Structure 1
Amino acid sequence: MVNLPNDDKSCGWYSVLPTPEPAKKLVGTQKADYAIIGAGFAGLAAARRLAELKPEARIILVDAQRVAEGASGRNSGFVIDLPHKFSLEHPDPELKKKLLHLNRTAISQLQGLVEQHNIDCQWSAVGKYQGAVGERGEEHLSHFEHLMKNLGEPYHWVEKAELSSVLGTNYYSRAIFTPGSYLMQPAALVQGMGNNLPENVELFEESPITDIQKLNGNWVLTSNKGTVITPKLLLGTSIFTREFGYLKNRLLPVMTFASWTRPLTDEEMKIYKGDLNWGLTPADHAGTTLRMTADRRILIRNTYKHVPKYGKSISDETRQWVQTDHRKAFLARYPELAGVPLTHTWGGVYAISRNFTNFFGELEDGVYASACDNGVGAAWGTISGTLLADLVVGADSQDLRDIQYVTDMPSLNPPEPFLGLGVKFRINLAKWQSRSEL
């Protein structure tokens, strides 16, 4: 029994998009040279690259939901060039350089698609702030400075007065600014890429695959009203990869939550006094992510939950409790905007591994996957999906060798109930330790 995505319907990013055309659903028996499950960053990138490498092939891309309804359309809108916090601490400098190069290749690829197809997704090269609230956060910033020096990457300190003029709040004591990150509207970007796929890619939405089996040398993908028969299957399914029996005891499903306001009025902007279009991530990784969008919305993201049943693990009552916490975080930063409501609160599920390792490669004969983004999906999904297509068709490159260098097998998890208890304890401990930075 496959546990399907069960996302809430309150994602702010998706709610403001134009209503899409009715979904084309998988019906009947379809034959394809290549099939891809999952139309997020990884699946879309894999489909586009396969179409480029094999222009005469029929490529089928299938998703259980509408494009941009899932995790890829639910993040905070950062495309980050730097290796993730945990990867930055890796002892191998070559690994960090390769990750940096791969992330920047992905950013360049995404920018090219935005420009080529005129995707209206607030794409902007504005860098990002890593902000500290107090002493604990500043200690993390000092450590981050050390890591940046070792990596040889540009950064600069932003002191309280300058920072408050940008953010419109004096809540933060200091920050480090890094110039290489981009901001975007994730659901708009993902939907835009889905609307502009190559001609030999056929997209089926609202068609959850509930079973995959090998029959007569081909893979048979079964949905409720149709099947796909293909010799080559690519999984861009992230945490849901385990639902098909792969990496089953190696991936941890975690959900993080965000809320945002309606657009601020002209009068509220005068009260706010900060800039538009910036993003701040917390110096302490369990702290609060903060954004002001290009269209005047303030976004708050914090709170993590272990979600073994994905969206079904979260009730409406839990989302209300999360929004209450987000409201407190918002008012702590912007008390003068107390009249501005939070209009949407949503969660997004992603995969992490105990050793913070991403999986990339062949799972068994004819089945390939990029799985476990460890919370940095936009750049990683884009480059890993692209290079997974290269791997499938045998197109060697330095980038392919680099991604094979930086990936490995995620660690095995302990059995339940110890796993669930351990994850819950770690999340609660991190929240308690970081309480001064929330």
Structure 2
Amino acid sequence: MIHLPHDDNTCGWYNALPKQPKQALLTGAQKADYVVLGAGFAGLAMARRLAEHAPNARIALIDAQRIGQGASGRNSGFVIDLPHKFSLEHPDPAHKQRLLSLNRFAIDQLASLVAKYNIDCQWSAAGKYQGAVGARGEAYLDHFEHLMTDLGEPFEHVTGTDLAKVLGTNYYSRAIYTPGGYLVQPAALACGLGANLPKNIEVFEHSPIVRLEKEQGGWLLQGEHGSIKTPQLLLGTSIFTREFGFLKNRLLPVMTFASWTRPLNDKEMQQYTGLLDWGLTPADHAGTTLRMTADRRIIIRNTYQHVAKYGNSISDKLRQEIQNDHRKVFLARYPQLVDVPFTHSWGGTYAISRNFTNFFGQLDDGVFASACDNGVGVAWGTVSGTLLADYVMGATSQSLDDIQQVTGMPSLNPPEPLLGLGVKSRIKLAKWQSRSEI
């Protein structure tokens, strides 16, 4: 039995979209030259690149939900060019330069597609702020400055009134601004990419695969209402890769949560006093991510949960408690906006590994995967999906060499219940240590 995502319907990004046209269900007994499972950023990129290589092949792109409803449409909308978090700590400068090059490959590709198809997704070369609240955050910022200097990348210090003019709050002591990142409405981007796929790609939504069987000459994917056979299967399934028997006990399912306001009206914008269209990540990794969107919504994101059963691990009571915590965080930064309500609170499940390593390559005869984005899904999903299709088709490039150099096998996890206890304890400890930055 395969455990399905079971995401709720509370994602603000997706609910802000116009009604999306329905795609077909997987029905009957079908065949395809290539099947891509998972229609997030990785799966969308895999399918598009396969179609470019093989314009006469039948390519099926299958998702258990709607495009944009899963993890790809639930993140905070940062498309980050820099090596992220622990990757920035890597001792090999060449490793970090490869990651930088791969992320910029993805940004260039997405920017080109957004322009080509006129995708309305708030795509913006806004850069990114990394902010500190107090002494703990400032120590992390000092370390970040050293890492950026070693990397040779540009950055700016922003403090005092200059920072408050951007953020509309004096809550932060200082920040470092890096110019290479982009901001986006992630669900709109995913849906826009899905609506503009090459014609030889058939999309099947609301079509969960509940059984995967190896057969002579390929694989049989059994759905709830139909099946499909293929000699070549590409998995863009992130954490759910383990549900199909691959990378078992190597991926950790973690959910992080966000809440956002309705768009501020003109009077509230005057009270806010900051700018539109910026994003701030915490210097202390367990702190709070903060965004002001181009359409006047403020987003608060923090709180991590180990979700062994994905969406089924989260109760309505827990979701309300998280929203209440987000409200406190919001009012600490914007007490002048006390009358502005949250309209949506949501979580998204992603995969991390204990050694912070991404998997890329072949898993079995005819089965290939990019799995474990470690929290940077937009850029990493796009570049890894594109290059996995190149790998399957036998193409060569410097980028393909680079991604094979920086990926590997995620570490084995301890058995349950030790794993769950350990992850939950680590999350609680990080939250307590970072309480001054939340």
Q: Shorter-chain TM-score: which interval?
A: over 0.9
Larger mean CA deviation between 145-154 and 20-29 belongs to: 20-29
For residues 273-288 of structure 1, the aligned pairs below 5 Å read: 273-288=273-288
SS at match of 2:345: strand
For residues 26-65 of structure 1, the aligned pairs below 5 Å read: 26-65=26-65
The answer to whether the 8 Å contact 2:286/2:302 transfers is yes
Match of 1:303 in 2: 303
- In structure 1, how many angstroms separate the alpha carbons of the residues matched to 2:392 and 2:58? 15
Match of 1:270 in 2: 270
Cα RMSD (Å): 0.5
| Identity value in percent | 72
- In structure 1, how many angstroms separate the alpha carbons of the residues matched to 2:295 and 2:217? 51
Amino acid at match of 1:107: I
1:364 aligns with 2:349: no
Match of 1:160 in 2: 160
1:243 aligns with 2:243: yes
Match of 1:218 in 2: 218
- In structure 2, how many angstroms separate the alpha carbons of the residues matched to 1:89 and 1:218? 41
Q: Which runs of 5+ in 2 are unaligned?
A: none
**By how many angstroms is 1:305 displaced?**
0.1
- In structure 1, how many angstroms separate the alpha carbons of the residues matched to 2:242 and 2:325? 32
- In structure 1, how many angstroms separate the alpha carbons of the residues matched to 2:79 and 2:86? 17
- In structure 2, how many angstroms separate the alpha carbons of the residues matched to 1:22 and 1:191? 11
SS at match of 1:435: coil
- In structure 2, how many angstroms separate the alpha carbons of the residues matched to 1:33 and 1:393? 12
- In structure 1, how many angstroms separate the alpha carbons of the residues matched to 2:36 and 2:412? 26
Match of 2:258 in 1: 258
For residues 308-327 of structure 1, the aligned pairs below 5 Å read: 308-327=308-327
After superposition, the C-alpha distances for 1:10-64 in whole angstroms (9 at most, x for unaligned) are: 0000001111122310011111111000000000000000000111111000000
Amino acid at match of 1:48: R
- In structure 1, how many angstroms separate the alpha carbons of the residues matched to 2:434 and 2:198? 46
- In structure 2, how many angstroms separate the alpha carbons of the residues matched to 1:110 and 1:180? 14
The answer to whether the 8 Å contact 2:306/2:420 transfers is yes
**By how many angstroms is 1:85 displaced?**
1.2
**By how many angstroms is 1:320 displaced?**
0.2
After superposition, the C-alpha distances for 1:134-164 in whole angstroms (9 at most, x for unaligned) are: 0000000000000001100000100121100
Match of 1:425 in 2: 425
SS at match of 1:210: strand
- In structure 2, how many angstroms separate the alpha carbons of the residues matched to 1:133 and 1:30? 56
- In structure 2, how many angstroms separate the alpha carbons of the residues matched to 1:314 and 1:275? 34
Match of 1:82 in 2: 82
The answer to whether the 8 Å contact 2:23/2:203 transfers is no
After superposition, the C-alpha distances for 1:264-297 in whole angstroms (9 at most, x for unaligned) are: 0000000001000000000000000000000000
Match of 2:133 in 1: 133
Q: TM-score, normalised by structure 1?
A: 1.00
Q: TM-score, normalised by structure 2?
A: 1.00
- In structure 2, how many angstroms separate the alpha carbons of the residues matched to 1:323 and 1:153? 36
- In structure 1, how many angstroms separate the alpha carbons of the residues matched to 2:30 and 2:154? 50
- In structure 2, how many angstroms separate the alpha carbons of the residues matched to 1:174 and 1:367? 47
Q: Which runs of 5+ in 1 are unaligned?
A: none
May I ask how many residue pairs the two structures share in their alignment?
A: 438
**By how many angstroms is 1:322 displaced?**
0.3
Match of 1:194 in 2: 194
The answer to whether the 8 Å contact 2:125/2:182 transfers is yes
SS at match of 1:276: coil
Amino acid at match of 2:285: H
Q: Which runs of 4+ in 1 moved over 3 A?
A: none
Match of 1:328 in 2: 328
